[in-house]
Structure 1
Amino acid sequence: MDKPKIFVSAGSPSTDTQEKFIDAIEQKLRDAGFEPQTVGRTRIAAEAPLKEIIRTIDESVGAIIIAAERVFIENGIERRGSPNERQLEKVKLTTPWNQVEAGMAYCKGLPVFVVMEEGVRQEGLLEPYDWIVLPVPFPFSRDALSSLSFNARFDAWRSKITEKQALKEQQEADKTSSLPNVGEMTIGQIVSSLKPSQLWAALGSTIVALGGAFALGAKLIVGK
């Protein structure tokens, strides 16, 4: 049986520490019985990356966003020239793909868990909203993923996945049980349940069948 897939949003690591960070989370998922899926890492996009991302998200039951430093701003200015201008110092920003993929996963209804390098700027979808956000201390140590703090949030996220899967299975079961038994339906019930296109197709088939029957009957009579 295939393992449930988890969509993992992770930019290309810039350092060995970031690589270990991603590896450790992927292993955590495998240990929990999931199969991590990352476009550009475990899956290669043969065409436009967004299409492969959509396919991967559609196949997944949950999403983990791994937000690690991509850009470091030693000194900068935010909202330059406006009344709200302010100085920036030692700001760490992650890849914009984390934001894009988090939004796509959430819109598809996947439970989202954001695990971020401590110190990365929390903004947009990297802020707690309807999902779990957990900063992890850096330099990274695998012990961080064994902590009570991490495991409590990981288990809460996994519970959301279990609830979502149970709801989906129940909806599918209800849909199947609500299907009518054609053998117990009257002709009128069958006709009324058909869509207009199906009804016309059925009438067309009936007319063709009747025409064929009349033609065959005529030939038999002539043959006599």
Structure 2
Amino acid sequence: MSLALYGHPFSSYTQKALIALYENGTPFEFRCIGPETPQHAAEWLRRWPIAKFPLLVDGARSIAETSIIIEYLGLAHPGPVRLLPEDPMAALEVRFLDRFFDLHVMEAMQVAVDSALKRIPATREEGLALAGQRLERAYAWAEGQLAGRTWAAGADFTLADCAAAPSLFYADWTHPIAEAYPVLRAYRARLLARPSFARAVEEARPFRPLFPLGAPDRD
């Protein structure tokens, strides 16, 4: 097996990489990081002492950071679904939207999670309030941006949608997307119905009790 992915099924960024792999049916070995697999954790940390997952291993090469992993897969292991357009300007928009969902949705949501886990000097209530403020701004912008589009960048499923799927999935658990944003709500529903993300969601379902804010009884 040439490709291996180190990560955890409930990790949003692991899911982002899994979506890309599932979209193209790319063969790989999943190496779950957890107490039951200390050998995987040891090898992961040896290869990437920054201790962030996922990490893709392709032979002797280690590739970190999800956006880079997905671009690497498109170069080294291309499949029928092209997740980054060939046209440079179109690719630039996809990369921007990828960063938008990672930085302004997922990272905003993470503030609430980190406060609940006491990783930052803020109470749970303060973390939820700050995350809510940031997410409202992101939701409002995305509502206009996505109008008339099937996927984030237009008609085709791309890297940006790989980022959007877990970002909006967990963000809506943290600060629900209001009915005032029907376009964004419909987009999230389409992402959940996409077979690649639906598979990732199902694989992560047993780990929902780990969500520190309390996973809602839906999705």
Q: Same fold judged by TM-score > 0.5? A: no
Q: What TM-score, normalized to structure 1? A: 0.28
Q: Determine which structure has the larger helix proportion and give its number.
A: 2
Q: What TM-score, normalized to structure 2? A: 0.28
Q: Determine which structure has the larger strand proportion and give its number.
A: 1
Q: Which has the higher contact order (CA 8 A, sep 6+)?
A: 2
Larger Rg: 1 or 2? 1
